[in-house]
Amino acid sequence: MNAPLRVGFVGLGNMGAPMAQRLLAWPGGLTVCDTRPEAMRPFAEAGAAVADSVSEVAADIVCVAVLDDAQVRAVVTELLGAAAPGTVIAVHSTIADRTAEELAATCAERGIDLVDAPVSGGGPGAKLGRLAVMVGGSATAFERVREPFGCFADLVVHAGEVGAGTRMKLARNLLHFVAFTAATEAQRLAEAAGLDITTLGKIVRHSDAVTGGPGAIMLRDRTAPIEPDDFWLPILRHVRDLGEKDLGLALELGDRLALDLPLARLALERLGSGLGVGDNTFERQNP
């Protein structure tokens, strides 16, 4: 029976610290490293080994959760100076997909696997062990990291080759921040109409927890127009019809309040085609 893999963790910030805390009970042991001694102190007290420098992180799997591409490059470069062949370096930072590909090629020259493994779920998800991890890398590397990743995530997916994990994270975050921008537009409409926008926020969080929010429509395996005999056609036509009606009413309210709602107009224009169910019927019926 193989001994459990030892895990290292570099970067104990807002995301890294709660992720690493979930690994304290990992049977293979945990080594942590951060530029701030005070960040490592609680881990040492909990029984983790502490490395004074990145090059001293001796582990089978080394998780990296630092700020940006430059810091990731610096950490990976230092790890390469000491890591043994067969080590897997897992980059949890959201970086450019090309950076991940370049670093993976450099690591491969030394017999080391690099996977890009960005996470979704934020600090609360990390503390609860409820993150989603999108892994880009070889099937062999994915199998090695899946079990330890399960300490801080309850969804670990193999997105594809190196770079695919980052590309999936960028697509996910596109939705995240476009939705945030739409939320600010909704707040402006509610405020202009004399409504309490904190109450609106409660309504949105409540209903999205029930319906699934924007992810509720993300069930198809392609984005092409839906075929006439497809199961999803009547369902997404219904979504389109409701959406176009409600967007039209919101835009009419905005016009009365002299408030421009550019995202709502764009949504009305593109909802039907985006769902794969054809042109905007609301505009045709209400010229």
* 141-161 pLDDT tens trace: 999 999 999 999 999 999 999
Confidence of residue 3 (pLDDT cuts 50, 70, 90): confident
Phi, psi for residue 244 in degrees, rounded to 5: -65, -40
Calculate ∠ Cα 7-13-16, nearest 5°: 30
**pTM, rounded to two decimals:** 0.90
Unique residue bearing structure tokens 């897992």: 90
How far apart CA 223 and CA 74 sit, in angstroms, is 39
Q: What is the pLDDT of residues 156-197, one digit of tens each?
A: 999 999 999 999 999 999 999 999 999 999 999 999 999 999
Helix (H) or strand (E) holding 115: strand 113-116
Give the chain's domains with CATH numbers.
Answer: 7-161 (3.40.50.720), 169-275 (1.10.1040.10)
| Structure tokens given for 225 | 């127009």
What is the rounded CA–CA span in Å between residue 165 and residue 173? 12
> Catalytic residues, which ones?
169
What are the tens digits of pLDDT across the range 93-148? 999 999 999 999 999 999 999 999 999 999 999 999 999 999 999 999 999 999 99
CA 184 and chain centroid, separation: 21
Tokens 């995301």 belong to residue: 15
